[in-house]
Structure 1
Amino acid sequence: MNLFERQLRVQRGYGLLFLSAFLLLAGGVTELSAQMKNRHVQSWELLTPKLSGKRGETVYAKIRFTLTPKAHLYTTMKYEGEGPNPTEITFDTSFVQLNGAIESSSKPILHFDPNFSVNSDSVYTEYWEGTVTLTIPLKIAKNAKRGKRTSWVNILFMTCDDKVCIPPMDQRFEIEFNVKKG
């Protein structure tokens, strides 16, 4: 075997090594993205994909989530010291603003939470279980341009069950707004 044939064989070997590494990494990325799904949440649904209102009016975005049995999603209640990350709801503020309290279709549960109790200190958390609809009051700015535009609402949330907590994750929804004359 001459020098040229050896170099060609080495190059093929590196090519196979590179291809193997690429396929391994691609499989890892696929696995990582599959792990990024929150196993406690069965579904999210934007019930109001289109909202319409006049400048200065309040419209209501509604989002429903369903959790697996024994799982819970923490409310917007903030905790001192040890405790879960509260749910945070943010939205495009370029032409709407929050106008009042966010309401839920079911009353939150206030319960001792062993996931966040350290050194026998009792931590009571507030959370939802099952299927819950959140209603978010959004006031359209008085100077908003008329017409259709796409906006967004984002929910940063944390879930736990009796054995494990999943780090906070985002769920983002796009909403089509129609700002009417008025």
Structure 2
Amino acid sequence: MKKVLLMMVALFFTVAAFAQIEAPVKWSYAAKKTSATEAVVFVKATIEPGWHVYSQNIKEGGPIATTFTFTPGKDYTLVGKPAEPKAITKYEDNFKMNVSYFENSVIFQQKVKLKAKGETTVKGKVEYMTCNDRKCLPPDEVEFSVNVK
């Protein structure tokens, strides 16, 4: 009985060691005041080699586009939509279409108009999907909070 129990415990730890969660994208956030009444919020994705994150501009039928949802705040309003740099656009066999994506890192920028003097906190979430040449991970959502001083 002890041998069976010992084997089950060993099997459990072996399976647990191989079942580590993949997280090929790390997110960071910052803000810079550009005038007394305006600022830019920076949302940066640092992507592990071999992986990519999709653009905000993906046609229907493709992967999940990166999307930003900002929490409404009394201290700020959004100015336009989040901006992104020029993406890599290539045909992906998995989706049977051209898709736009980023490798290594990408910085998205959102302009905000400040309504109050002093420190303001901009909150929101980013939903994204990441893939490599073998597989795609399920879409993930990350909340963020950025102080604008």
TM-score by length of 2: 0.74
Separation of aligned partners in 2, 1:150 and 1:47: 11
Asked if residue 168 in structure 1 is aligned to residue 147 in structure 2, the reply is no
Q: Report what 2:6 is aligned to.
A: none
CA deviation vs aligned residue, 1:142-182 (integer Å, no higher than 9, x gap): xx44443433131111111111111111122211234xxxx
Q: Report what 2:87 is aligned to.
A: 108
Superposition RMSD in Å: 2.7
Does the aligned pair in 1 maintain the 2:34–2:40 contact within 8 Å? no
Asked if residue 97 in structure 1 is aligned to residue 77 in structure 2, the reply is yes
The alpha-carbon deviation at position 97 of structure 1 amounts to 2.9
The alpha-carbon deviation at position 91 of structure 1 amounts to 1.2
Which runs of no fewer than 5 residues in structure 2 stay unpaired?
1-11
Q: Report what 1:65 is aligned to.
A: 45
Which structure shows the bigger proportion of residues in helix conformation? 1
Change (3 A) 1:153 1:94: same
Q: Report what 2:7 is aligned to.
A: none
**Residue of 41, 47, 51 corresponding to 2:30:** 47
Equivalent residues, number: 133
* Rg larger for: 1
Separation of aligned partners in 2, 1:129 and 1:158: 13
TM-score by length of 1: 0.62
Q: Report what 1:75 is aligned to.
A: 55
Aligned-residue sequence identity (percent) comes to: 25
Structure 2 residue identity aligned to 1:62:
F
Which structure shows the bigger proportion of residues in strand conformation? 2
Structure 1 residue identity aligned to 2:28:
E
Separation of aligned partners in 1, 2:77 and 2:139: 24
Does the aligned pair in 1 maintain the 2:30–2:147 contact within 8 Å? no
Which runs of no fewer than 5 residues in structure 1 stay unpaired?
1-23, 118-122
The alpha-carbon deviation at position 51 of structure 1 amounts to 5.2
